[in-house]
Amino acid sequence: MTQSSEQAFLKSYNPKEYDTPIYSVDIAIFTLDQGRLKVLLVERGEHPFKGFWALPGGFVDLKKDPDIHTTARRKLVSKTGVDAPLLEQVSTIGNAHRDPRHWSITTLYMALIPYAPTAEFIEAVNEARWFPIEEIEQLQLAFDHSELLELARERLKNKTAYTVLPIHVLKRPFSLTQLQKAFELLMDTALEKKSFRRRLLNADVLKEVGEGIPEGGKGRPAALYEPADGSESHLFVRVFGD
Amino acid sequence: MTQSSEQAFLKSYNPKEYDTPIYSVDIAIFTLDQGRLKVLLVERGEHPFKGFWALPGGFVDLKKDPDIHTTARRKLVSKTGVDAPLLEQVSTIGNAHRDPRHWSITTLYMALIPYAPTAEFIEAVNEARWFPIEEIEQLQLAFDHSELLELARERLKNKTAYTVLPIHVLKRPFSLTQLQKAFELLMDTALEKKSFRRRLLNADVLKEVGEGIPEGGKGRPAALYEPADGSESHLFVRVFGD
DNA sequence: TGACAATAGTGGCGATTAGCCAATAATAAA
DNA sequence: TTTATTATTGGCTAATCGCCACTATTGTCA
């Protein structure tokens, strides 16, 4: 390849000559509140599906976004006011019929955030609301967002089984009991107390930061923990066998 | 939302009015040959990166492809002549700089196929070649395909640890020793013979179909296996602890 | 025909881990 | 002081892992 022929080619290239699909990014944002797993939905103000509830999302801003991860983060921050949580890609869905406008592709992300710092923010964004996940099953969402949510939910379950994801939906510090509850809600399974504690304490992903009674609780004070340094990411911790 | 306003909206929508990224699909196709893990590359005949080796891939055909999975499969079949293998999505990468033409997005797939049925086909497609994966590290691939390949390789390693993926790169039937070799190559780790056999035989994913000496081998004949019915997909089988 | 080389498959065992359930500990409220 | 409530630890059985050596079955070659 010569430098010059490459240059000449680039000058002659015009992306609008080709028939390309619509591309967007959607996010399933999960949190825990009052012992329930909740998902953030927004009400669509525009066609198509005007008035329907949908996952937050939108198009890439080619001027401002250096990459699609930034697009996802931008959407997340604009809806929740929170950055720096767990945000990861789940899957990309693209087909001819999911959007009535055109052949359409979306990359689905999921995010986990603690409830507290966002609640007031959400109240201010009047078209956004937290829904308990079971309630959403009754709703008809825009586009194929019900299926997208199902995909994100599955990924959440699976990944929870061998990583320490649930620390991201808790306010810090947290007790082991709170953490176990979080695991159980995200995985939708009951866990053995002793096995759970053994695993997590041996895995060296938590650091004890004191003792206290978690908010609104009674009974004996619990040891409180935070993620150990450098354990923010997806550390491998299998929480129950097979 | 009224039926009529939705209709009116759709008529007025023209996808070419918006600035959208380029979208493509790429595939990392893995196989096993002569005890080596190999990847299929094609030589680019067009700009940009004309003359460079690249992962097979291309654009969605909005007329023919009902969805992006079909796009990936179409590319796979046209390069290898094989359908029906393991083909799954790895990740989607999109940013402003990966393609000199424009803001560009690609969805990366990976495929696993047995070597035999494809060898002759590949010979016929003169611009395609199997490369041992270590050799590719020396090569400069088109676009960001070196990074894409690295992503696929990582996914392959991780998934192999808790599924039965490697059965897809073997000709059938196969022996347990062959299967263990496949696991070891895909995971890039040595495994304990006894533990490996215990796991796989107890997991009920294999069906014994006879006995024989695998091609070109010596020594005692081995029991030969095929995947048990319904185990084609990603059965969970952890092959080694933590 | 009888070693020997090569590969497949099994036995056995100490150490670790999972799963289970009950006992003990610390606090607030009555 | 008692009781309710939640946290934490102890202890036991059964299953599993990792390790390594031993036995089994074939082809080959003197």
- Note the pLDDT tens digit of each residue in B148-192: 999 999 999 999 988 899 999 999 999 999 999 999 999 999 999
Q: Is A152 inside a domain boundary?
A: no
For residue A15, what pLDDT is reported? 52
Residue A62 has pLDDT above 50, yes or no: yes
CATH number at residue A201: 1.10.10.10
**Nearby residues of A152 by Cβ (< 8 Å), 6 or more positions away:** A28, A30, A90, A108, A110
In whole angstroms, give the CA distance from residue A92 to residue B70.
13
For residue B1, what pLDDT is reported? 44
Residue B140 has pLDDT above 50, yes or no: yes
For residue B217, what pLDDT is reported? 76
Q: Are residues A199 and A86 in the same domain?
A: no
Asked if A95 is an interface residue toward chain B (Cβ–Cβ < 8 A), one would say yes
Which of A93, A110, A143 is the last residue in one of the domains?
A143
- Chain A 127-166 contacts with nucleic strand D (CB below 7 A): none
Q: Is B194 inside a domain boundary?
A: yes
Residue of A nearest to B90 (CA): A91
Nearest to B15 among A51, A102, A107 (CB): A102
Q: Is A80 inside a domain boundary?
A: yes
B107·A89 Cβ contact <8 A? no
pLDDT digits (tens, 9 = 90+) for A116-163: 888 888 877 778 999 999 999 999 999 999 999 999 999 999 999 888
Q: Are residues B31 and B83 in the same domain?
A: yes
Residue A239 has pLDDT above 90, yes or no: no
**B219 closest-nt by C1' vs CA:** C7
Average of per-residue pLDDT values in chain A: 88
Q: Of A83-92, A214-223, B176-185, which range is least confident? A: A214-223
Chain B, window 11-50: residues with a beta carbon less than 8 angstroms from a chain A beta carbon: 13, 15-16, 18-23, 47-50
In whole angstroms, give the CA distance from residue A23 to residue A103.
9
For residue B241, what pLDDT is reported? 46
Domain count for chain A, please give it: 2
Query: What share of chain B in percent tops pLDDT 70?
Result: 87
Q: Rounded to whole angstroms, what are the CA distances from A95 to A26, A54, A215, B74?
A: 15, 18, 47, 15
What is the rounded average pLDDT of the residues B55-73?
Answer: 97
Query: What share of chain A in percent tops pLDDT 70?
Result: 87
For residue B9, what pLDDT is reported? 52
Residue A235 has pLDDT above 80, yes or no: no
In whole angstroms, give the CA distance from residue A93 to residue B69.
9
In whole angstroms, give the CA distance from residue A233 to residue A236.
9
Instruction: Report residue A189's pLDDT band, with 50, 70 and 90 as the boundaries.
Output: very high
Q: Are residues B76 and B185 in the same domain?
A: no
What is the rounded average pLDDT of the residues A41-59?
Answer: 94
Residue A1 has pLDDT above 50, yes or no: no
Residue B123 has pLDDT above 90, yes or no: no
Distance from CA of A18 to the nearest CA of B (A): 9
Q: Are residues B49 and B138 in the same domain?
A: yes
Q: Are residues A172 and A113 in the same domain?
A: no
Q: Are residues B118 and B168 in the same domain?
A: no
Query: Which among B200, B209, B210 has a CA at the least distance from the CA of B167?
Result: B200
Q: Are residues A133 and A31 in the same domain?
A: yes
Q: Is B31 inside a domain boundary?
A: yes
Asked if A10 is an interface residue toward chain B (Cβ–Cβ < 8 A), one would say yes
Strand B174-175 and strand B128-132: the pairing is unpaired
Q: Are residues A137 and A206 in the same domain?
A: no
Instruction: Report residue A242's pLDDT band, with 50, 70 and 90 as the boundaries.
Output: very low
Q: Are residues A28 and A76 in the same domain?
A: yes
Residue A179 has pLDDT above 80, yes or no: yes
Domain containing residue B202: 161-227
A vs B, Cβ pairs < 8 A, gives 125
Nearest to B101 among A10, A20, A23 (CB): A10
What is the rounded average pLDDT of the residues B187-213?
Answer: 92
Q: Are residues A171 and A130 in the same domain?
A: no
Nearest to B101 among A13, A22, A107 (CB): A13
Query: Which among A211, A104, A205 has a CA at the least distance from the CA of A148?
Result: A104
B19·A62 Cβ contact <8 A? yes
For residue A118, what pLDDT is reported? 81
**A175 closest-nt by C1' vs CA:** D7
Strand A53-54 and strand B57-59: the pairing is unpaired
Asked if A236 is an interface residue toward chain B (Cβ–Cβ < 8 A), one would say yes
Residue B235 has pLDDT above 80, yes or no: no
Q: Are residues B29 and B106 in the same domain?
A: yes
Q: Are residues B179 and B134 in the same domain?
A: no
What is the rounded average pLDDT of the residues A186-195?
Answer: 94
CATH number at residue A117: 3.90.79.10
| Cα A155 off chain centre by | 10
For residue B119, what pLDDT is reported? 80
